[in-house]
């Protein structure tokens, strides 16, 4: 299999604080990880692409300083939402691409972030 986990599954934080979300590939090496945001009843929006050991590539309109992405190893990527505000409340989903594969992505179950 190719299992991707995310932690936490749900988090509530106060406005102005930072939150870190972890994405792990449990049984394979992920050379590339992707971070998406999903609004209610809407599609997934790609935020950024991260390759192990290099800086993330952000999509147009995504603030790099607000959404910090680190891909420190072949099995772990983190997304930190800095100085969170209520409008950052959303469902964040990561996916991972296995070494040697081209198109397939394996998705985590998502993290529900609520900023109060």
Partner 1 sequence: GNSVTQMEGPVTLSEEAFLTINCTYTATGYPSLFWYVQYPGEGLQLLLKATKADDKGSNKGFEATYRKETTSFHLEKGSVQVSDSAVYFCALSAGGAGGTSYGKLTFGQGTILTVHP
Mapped onto helix, strand or coil, the DSSP state of residue 90 is strand
Which residues, other chains included, contact 56 with Cβ-Cβ below 8 Å and sequence gap of 6+?
Answer: 48, 49, 50, 64, 69, 70, 71
Q: How many CB atoms lie within 10 A of CB 63?
A: 10
Residue number, 53 or 109, with CB nearest to partner 1: 109
Residue number, 78 or 95, with CB nearest to partner 1: 95
Binding positions for partner 1, rule: CB under 8 A: 4, 32, 34, 41-44, 46, 49, 57, 93, 95, 97, 102-110
Residue number, 44 or 82, with CB nearest to partner 1: 44
Q: Smallest gap, in angstroms, from Cβ of residue 24 to partner 1? A: 12
Q: Which of 114, 99, 113, 108 is nearest to 35 (CA)?
A: 108
Q: Smallest gap, in angstroms, from Cβ of residue 60 to partner 1? A: 10
């Amino acid at each position: 299999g190719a299992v991707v986990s995310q932690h936490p599954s749900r988090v509530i934080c106060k406005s102005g604080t930072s939150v870190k979300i972890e994405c792990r590939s449990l049984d394979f090496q992920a050379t590339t990880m992707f971070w998406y945001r999903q609004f209610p009843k809407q599609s997934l929006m790609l935020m950024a692409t991260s390759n192990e050991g290099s800086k993330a590539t952000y999509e147009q309109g995504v603030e790099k300083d607000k959404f910090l992405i680190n891909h420190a190893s072949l099995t772990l990527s983190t997304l930190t939402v800095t100085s969170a505000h209520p409008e950052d409340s959303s469902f964040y989903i990561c996916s991972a691409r296995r070494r040697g594969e081209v198109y397939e992505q394996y998705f985590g179950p998502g993290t529900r972030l609520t900023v109060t």
